[in-house]
Every structure is written in structure tokens, then in C-alpha cells.
Amino acid sequence: MAAAETSGTVAAPGRWSLHGKMALVTGGTRGIGRAVVEELAALGAAVHTCSRNEAELGERLKEWEARGFRVTISVCDLSARDQRERLIGDVADRFGGKLDILVNNVGTNIRKPTTEYSADEYSFLMATNLESAYHLCQLGHPLLKASGSGSIVFISSVAGIVALFSGTIYAMTKGAMNQLTKNLACEWAKDNIRTNCVAPGYILTSLSEGILANKEFEGSVKSRTPLRRVGEPAEISSLVAFLCMPGSTYITGQTIAVDGGMTVNGLYPS
Ligand code: NDP
């Protein structure tokens, strides 16, 4: 797989760079997705991103252009099948029918006991967190194959690795993503497409700020985390970038937790 990219010494040109790469990062206006857009762009990639909020996308775009990043945008609700198809059409047009990197970042949560979820909430979470990523992989496959060294990175969660006390639908979507990572790594290796997954612990973003504002909850998270703090989006984007680089071309099918040691500690307070 992409042997030409990895040959040579540590100093081989391009080994730690994303120059010339073309990337789609979903949900790039805030939190982890924003950090990934900026990390990949700073390392030389041309990046396309999307979200549902046109005004916020426009603001981000101005900031990125001011920093010299090569980023383009689409307004898109990834929970809708036709909008996913349109997004990949935009990407194919922009990148000439090729895509080197697909980061499936979009995801959300509704925290409540299992007995209280409605059928609509179930469908919404499944469509947003899992079906969207699955379908984007299907749609993106010909583009990633055409790249000759494609890399897919899913953003799942520690909630897909260990069991928490609420959020069963979220946990199922993330657990399924971890398994999908392994299956696609096997199925698409022949197409020179690698597939890996980054599973964050608690990271301070607009998704988590509400729950982390509860000081008791935040204290319990920190007490279960050996590093005694929540993470920053940039601590996720660095690993995502590595998984897309020529320096990682023998890594595929892996789910890597970035959680301050939370899962290796078995989530026990200490
Ligand atoms: P945020 O809510 O901060 O950001 C989510 C981004 O995705 C925004 O840009 C948002 O824009 C976009 N988005 C959400 N829904 C859609 C949609 N249907 N269509 C298109 N864009 C959408 O989330 P985080 O950065 O915290 O989370 C990113 C990923 O990381 C998620 O998959 C999450 O499950 C995972 N994760 C997060 C953790 C955390 O503690 N923060 C922990 C573990 C995993 P807009 O709403 O305007 O569309």
C-alpha cells in the first residue's frame, strides 16, 4: 500500500506532510472538526468541509482565508441522504474526481435513559452519527480509490469502547463505527484505502460544554481520568493528521482512544 510514499529515511520528503493532499472533513465549523480542518490545512492539504449553518461556515471561511488555508465549504445536513450525495458531488468537482482523506467527524448526542427515547430520536441519532458516515464512505469510495492512497478516519468515542451510564443510542453508533473501521480496513485494503478511528474521551467543545458546566459531573470525569483534565480539540486533530500522512501507511483498522488514560483506567475514580 502506497509503498512509494513510505520509502526512504525519516527525512524522506513528504513523510510528515499533507502537501498535495485533498481532504473532506465533515462538521468543520466547531469543536473537533474545526481543529481537524485547521490541522490538515496547516500541514498543506486542500480541505472541503460542511455544516448546516451557512452564516457560521461563512465566518470560518473568512478566518481560514485570512490564515492562508485552502478551504472550501458546502452547506449540508448530513442526516439527509440527498444532501450527502450533493456534498460528494461538490467534492468530486472540486478535487477532480479524487479524494485522499475522508474524516467522518459529524456526530451528536441526546443524553437520556433508554426507556425515554422516542422513535424519532433513535432515527435522528442513527442517521446523523452512523448512517451518514457509512453512506459517505460508499459515495467516497471511487474518489478515495482514484487517489491511490486513500485514508478514512472516523471520529467515534470512548462511549463505543466502554459502557457509560446513559446515551445508549450514541454508544451503539460509536461502537458500530469502531467495527466498521475494521471491516473496511480489510475490504478496501486492495484499493489502497486505509481506515482508522479516533475515539475521544471528554473534549471541551460546543457538544460537551453544557454537560461539563455541571461542576459535579466535570469533577467526576476528571477523577476518572489519569491525566486529571478534559482534552482539547487540537489533541484529537494531531492524531487525525498523523493517520492521514505517509508516515502512517502501515496502520489500518485501528481504533485509538485519545482520552487522558480514561479507558485504560477502566473508568474507575481514584
Ligand atoms: P460539536 O457539536 O462541537 O461540532 C459538531 C460539528 O458538526 C459542527 O460543525 C456542526 O455544525 C456539525 N454538524 C452537526 N450535525 C450536523 C449535520 N447533521 N450535518 C452537517 N454538519 C453537522 O461536536 P464535537 O466537536 O464535540 O464532536 C465532533 C465528533 O466528536 C462527534 O462525532 C462526537 O460524537 C465526537 N466526540 C466528541 C466528544 C466530546 O467530548 N466533545 C467526545 C467523544 C466523541 P452545525 O451544528 O452548524 O451543523
Q: Which pLDDT tens digit goes with each residue over 58-110?
A: 999 999 999 999 999 999 999 999 999 999 999 999 999 999 999 999 999 99
Q: Is any ligand 1 atom within 6 A of the Cβ of residue 23?
A: no
- Tell how far the Cα of 190 is from the centroid of ligand 1, in angstroms: 31
Encode pLDDT of 178-188 as tens digits: 999 999 999 99
CA 14 – CA 268 distance, rounded (Å): 42
Q: Is any ligand 1 atom within 6 A of the Cβ of residue 200?
A: yes
For ligand 1, mutation pick of 86, 108, 180, 224 (most atoms within 8 Å of CB): 108
What is the residue range of 140's domain? 20-203+231-256
- Is residue 211 included in any domain, yes or no? no
Q: Which atom of ligand 1 is nearest to the CA of 200?
A: 43
- Is residue 265 included in any domain, yes or no? no
- Is residue 139 included in any domain, yes or no? yes
Give me the CATH number covering residue 63: 3.40.50.720
The verdict on pTM exceeding 0.85 is yes
- Is residue 163 included in any domain, yes or no? yes
Residue owning grid cell 427515547 = 117
First-to-last CA distance in the chain? 44
Distance of CA 12 to the CA centre of its chain: 27
Instruction: Compute φ and ψ for 209, nearest 5 degrees.
Output: -65, -35
What pLDDT sits at residue 3?
Answer: 47
CA 240 – CA 237 distance, rounded (Å): 5
pLDDT tier, 196 (very low <50, low <70, confident <90, very high otherwise): very high
- Is residue 267 included in any domain, yes or no? no
Looking at the annotation, which residues are catalytic? 170
- Is residue 268 included in any domain, yes or no? no
What pLDDT sits at residue 55?
Answer: 98
- Is residue 81 included in any domain, yes or no? yes
What pLDDT sits at residue 267?
Answer: 72
The residue whose CA has the least distance to atom 14 of ligand 1 is: 106
Encode pLDDT of 111-125 as tens digits: 999 999 999 999 999
Q: Is any ligand 1 atom within 6 A of the Cβ of residue 157?
A: yes
Q: How many domains are contained in the chain?
A: 1
- Tell how far the Cα of 32 is from the centroid of ligand 1, in angstroms: 7
Per-residue CA distances from 36 to 51, 160, 193, 227 (Å) = 14, 21, 20, 23
- Is residue 176 included in any domain, yes or no? yes
What pLDDT sits at residue 21?
Answer: 98
Q: Is any ligand 1 atom within 6 A of the Cβ of residue 173?
A: no
What pLDDT sits at residue 265?
Answer: 86
What pLDDT sits at residue 209?
Answer: 96
